[in-house]
Structure formats: C-alpha cells, structure tokens
Structure 1
Amino acid sequence: MIRAGEFHNGAIFDDAGNILEIIWFQHHKPGKGGAMVRTKIKNLLTGAITERSFSPSDKFRTVEVLKRKKTFLYAEGESLQFMDMESYEQMAIDKKKLGLACEFLCENMEVQGIYIDGNLITVELPKKVTLAVASTVPGVKGDSVSNMTKPATLETGVEIKVPLFIEEGEKVVVSTETGEYIERA
C-alpha cells in the first residue's frame, strides 16, 4: 500500500482498477483546511493524462512492475510493433497508449516495455532522442540575436519548433515528454 503523502515521480499504483503513474506531484498546504497532494497522472491502460488532487492519507494498492528491453520494429495502422530483446517475441501496442511519445519512435529504437501482471501495458521511451531534420525553411540572416524559432519536420514526420540556425539534415535532440527542441546534436 502507498499513501498519497508518499507519492514520488514514477510511482505506479492501482486506483479502482485503473493503473496510474505519477508524472508530477506537489504537496500543497493552503492557509485554511487540510493539506492535499496535487498530481499529474497518466493512466497506463488508456494513455490519458489528467490532473488530480488527493488527501495525503488516501491509500492505494501498489502495483508490481516489470521492465524489459524492447525494440521498435514498425507501425501498422493504429498499432506499433515491438520485439522483446530476450525472447525475440513480437507484440503490438495501440498508438493511443503512448500519446505524444509515438511521434518520436524510429525503427530499431530501444525502449522499455512496462509489464503489469504479466501483460505488456505500455512502453517507455528515453527522456530525449536524437533525430534528423527532414525539412525546414531557411533562417533569415540577422535574426540570430533574438530567440526566434521556425517550424521543422523531423525524420519521423513530427513538426517541432527549432532555433533559426538549424538547417535541413542536421540532427537535433528532442524531449519525448514535451516534444520540444533541447539542443543541437
């Protein structure tokens, strides 16, 4: 059992049959009334992310999680195909369960498969990935002083904002959690 007052980032628990993961939490003590724990949680079964508040004394069942290395093979319709690195077994996951993260998957990318009760629930991408810029408009000379950005399409097809100095063919590091440019690779 885990109490809401003991939450930490990455904690996984069961709330009325929903398997939830803490993405972000904050202990909050207002001037009046009791303390509360504000959270941003991800439902691992549906992929939905919501914000919710709990009383610090609320108790939940902890869930045993097994992580195994997987390799992304290919996308087929609304499903993504992965291969287990130990057993070489292939399995599919619905794109909706990954949310924004599926936009950053490249063939042969290594990810962590999340198993709960022996079932593959979702996969976890690295916090940041390096991708090539497939297309972008040229930057205008003289704009290098300001923090201007321009749209760029990456090799996976996702469009992000990058600084003006980034050109086609360059590799950039992108956060898989926020989808934002971090740095030039």
Structure 2
Amino acid sequence: MPKASNLQKGHIINIDNHPYQVKQIDVHTPSARGANTLYKVRYASLISGQKLDQTYKGNDNLEEMTVDKRRVSFLYRDQNLYTFMDSENYEQYTLSEEALEGQIQWLVDGLEGITALLRDGHPLCIELPQTIDLEIVDTAPAIKGATATNRNKPAELSNGVSVLVPEYMTAGEIIRVNTETGQYMSRVKS
C-alpha cells in the first residue's frame, strides 16, 4: 500500500474496485506551521477513461491494484482500435483510442519495448518506452555555425509529430524523443 507521498505517475490505484491510473500529481506545501503537504492527484479510469481528481495528505494510504505486466509490440491500427502482440506467447490484445489517450502519436509499426497492463487477462492500458528513435522528415536548412548557440527550430518527424530540435539538425537524421514530454533528447549515432 503506497502512501500518497510515494505515489508516482503511472501507478494503478484501486478506487471503489475500479482501476485508476495516476496521470498527474501536484504537490502543495502550505506555508503555515504544522500544515500538512497536500498531494492533488489526477486519475484516469482504465475502464471508462473518465478523469478523477483526489487530494491526499502525505501519510494517507492508497490501495495499489495488482496487474500483470506483459511485453508487447504494436502490430496495427483498425479504425479506432489498436492491436498489440504479446512478445512471449504471441497473444493479441486490442485497446480503444480512448484507452491510449496521449500515446497514439508514438505508436509506429513494429514498436517494441511496450508494456501492456492486464487484469484477469484483459488489457487495461499500455506503458510506452521512455524514449523512441524517429527520423526527421522536414525541417529548415541547417544554419552554419549554429552549434555555438543554443537555439531551436521546429522539425517534423516520421510519425507526423513536430518537435523543437537544435538549429544544426537536418532532414534524414535520427533523433531520440521522450515519449512522456514529447521533447527532443539527443541525436542517435548511425
């Protein structure tokens, strides 16, 4: 049973026998003496996708829901359904667009390193790898001498997402992007 002060993004919590995933945590530390630190947590229901906001004191106990974690890879999309395949037993799991909120733009064919969270053999959601390598397909030309400055320019990636990259980057380069923040991390050596 984790305490509210130990809660992390992605944890699955049991609220009224329904699985909710932690999406955001805001910490409020009051300035008054003896006041408790408050943790405002935004959850998303893994069944309906509905949002839920709760506020806790740091020592409040929460009930973590036990889920099975399976390594899967992304196979294909069929309208608003996304199919994944278990890397060990080749079983296929399908999730709706609503269950994958905020993750769809990172799903490229054959993406591996994905973890599916299952309860009683049914998929609830997925966890993407922390980073993904993608190719820059369109960006402004590189500026000579741009390595000396710390300025960025927009670049469109092979999955259609636009991110800010350093000015010296060119189309055709492979970069590493953080799937949680959607920000450029580094260039991938080829």
Identify the TM-score tier after normalising by the shorter chain: 0.7 to 0.9
- 5+ unaligned residues in a row in structure 1: which ranges? none
CA distance in 1, matches of 2:35, 2:23: 21
Gaps of 5+ in 2: none
Please give the secondary structure, in 1, of the residue aligned with 2:149.
coil
2:179 alignment partner in structure 1: 176
TM-score (structure 1 length as normaliser) = 0.83
Q: 1:67 aligns with which of 41, 54, 69?
A: 69
Q: Any residues of structure 2 matched to 1:86-101 within 5 Å, and which?
A: 86-101=88-103
- Distance in 2 (CA, whole Å) between partners of 1:176 and 1:30 is 35
Aligned partner of residue 62 in structure 1, secondary structure: coil
Once the two structures are superposed, residues 121-156 of structure 1 have per-residue CA deviations (whole angstroms, 9 ceiling, x without a partner) of: 111111011111111121333444332211111111
Deviations 1:66-124 (A, max 9, x none): 10011101222222111112221222212332333221222111111111343211111
CA contact (8 A) 2:4 2:60 kept: yes
Aligned length: 185
For the aligned residue pairs, the C-alpha RMSD in angstroms reads: 2.7
Q: 1:39 to 1:182 in 2, by over 3 A?
A: farther
Question: 2:125: which partner in 1?
Answer: 122
- The equivalences for 1:28-177 within 5 A come to 28=29, 30-32=31-33, 34-43=35-44, 45=46, 52-110=54-112, 111-177=114-180
On the 8 A contact 2:144/2:168 being kept in 1, the answer is no
Query: Aligned partner of 2:180: which letter?
Result: E
TM-score, scaled relative to structure 2: 0.81
The answer on whether the counterparts of 2:133 and 2:174 sit within 8 Å (CA) in structure 1 is yes
Question: What SS class does the counterpart of residue 179 from structure 1 fall into?
Answer: coil
Counterpart-to-counterpart distance in 1, 2:37 and 2:10: 19
Closer, same or farther: CA 130–117 of 1 in aligned 2, 3 Å = same
Give the residue type in structure 2 aligned to 1:4. A
CA distance in 2, matches of 1:178, 1:50: 22
1:33 CA drift (Å): 5.6
Q: 1:50 to 1:107 in 2, by over 3 A?
A: same
- Specify whether residues 158 and 9 from structure 1 end up closer, same or farther in structure 2 by C-alpha distance, changes over 3 A only: closer
TM-aligned CA distance change 1:3 to 1:40, over 3 Å: closer
Question: SS state of the match for residue 102, structure 2?
Answer: helix
What SS class does the counterpart of residue 77 from structure 2 fall into? strand
Residues 149-168 of structure 1, C-alpha deviation per residue, up to 9 Å, x if partnerless? Answer: 11111111111111111111
Give the whole-Å Cα distance in 2 for the aligned partners of 1:27 and 1:42: 17
Structure with greater proportional strand content: 1
SS of the equivalent of 1:97 reads: helix
